[in-house]
Amino acid sequence: NAGVTQTPKFQVLKTGQSMTLQCAQDMNHEYMSWYRQDPGMGLRLIHYSVGAGITDQGEVPNGYNVSRSTTEDFPLRLLSAAPSQTSVYFCASSHGDLYEQYFGPGTRLTVT
Amino acid sequence: AQSVTQPDIHITVSEGASLELRCNYSYGATPYLFWYVQSPGQGLQLLLKYFSGDTLVQGIKGFEAEFKRSQSSFNLRKPSVHWSDAAEYFCAVASNYGGSQGNLIFGKGTKLSVKP
């Protein structure tokens, strides 16, 4: 199993550009989440999904969209990038409530 | 509101010395607690978790943690630190966004440095 994979590993955007961060898992996990990690802030939940077709907002959802058309994939879309979205983004998946979350290697995004 | 506090931003210990990383949580019901480790440039790996039962839980890499409800704490310990333990450590509690408990609220992390 590849586990949780994320692409790209690094990305530089200009303010106002849009892009999609990809996340895929091959463990047949129902639960998938996106977090952002900023220095001194820990990880904060952006959006999550409890199954295909079901998504919901987390702590910091503004400026981001998600969809879950398949169990395997959970892309994160930045609609109009802002410097405040410069961060490291982690995708995670699990079997469900209270199961261990498996994290991807992260995407480092810089918005200039 | 749920929260996790890690009071120490950065800790330095000598190799072979014991380690304790502090974690305090705020949660109205029974907390489900986790410790994760992040090596530089990597994702997060689960060290251990507490759901119920024995308040002393064992994890991977020789780590253990003790849940103390009276102190709202879940401190991580290791009796003898190895240089490879240098990393950032995150304490987390299962949140209840949307009625689900599949997500985590993280503390801000404690960076561990190990002196030879």
pLDDT tens across B76-94, in order?
A: 999 999 999 999 999 999 8
Q: What is the DSSP string of A21-51?
A: EEEEESS--SEEEEEEEETTTEEEEEEEEEE
Phi, psi of A18 (to 5 degrees): -115, 155
Q: With contact defined as beta carbons under 8 Å apart, do B36 and B6 qualify?
A: no
Name the band, by pLDDT with cuts 50, 70 and 90, for residue B1: confident
Give the helix, strand, coil percentages of chain A, each rounded to 5: 5, 55, 45
Question: By CA distance, what is B39's nearest residue in A?
Answer: A105
Average pLDDT of the segment spanning B27-47: 88
pLDDT higher than threshold 70 for residue B98? no
Contact A44/B at CB under 8 A: yes
What is the pLDDT confidence band of residue A53, given thresholds at 50, 70 and 90? very high
Q: pLDDT at position A64, please? A: 97
Sign of the four-CA dihedral A76, A8, A43, A31: positive
Amino acid at residue number B75: N
| Residue B42: pLDDT band with limits 50, 70, 90 | confident
Q: A61-97, pLDDT tens digit by residue?
A: 999 999 999 999 999 999 999 999 999 999 999 987 6
Dihedral over Cα of A36, B49, A54, A5: its sign: positive
Taking 70 as the threshold, does the pLDDT of residue B101 lie above it?
A: no
A9 CA: distance to closest CA in chain B (Å): 10
Q: With CB atoms and an 8 Å threshold, state whether A48 touches B97.
A: yes
CB spacing of A40 vs B101 below 8 angstroms: no
Is residue B110 within 8 A of residue B21, CB to CB? The reply is yes
Distance CA B104, CA B108 (A): 13
- Residue B21 burial (10 A CB sphere; 0-12, 13-18, 19+): buried
Contact A48 B102 (CB under 8 A): yes
CA distance A12 to B48: 35
- Which residue among A33, A96, A100 sits closest to B46, beta carbon to beta carbon? A100
Give the pLDDT score at B13: 97
| More reliable by pLDDT, A100 or B79 | B79
Of A41, A96, A105, the CB nearest to B108: A41
- Can you give the pLDDT at residue A97? 67
Is the CB of residue A100 less than 8 Å away from at least one CB of chain B? Answer: yes
Q: Residue B96 pLDDT more than 90?
A: no
Cα→Cα distances A112→A29, A63, B16, Å: 35, 16, 44
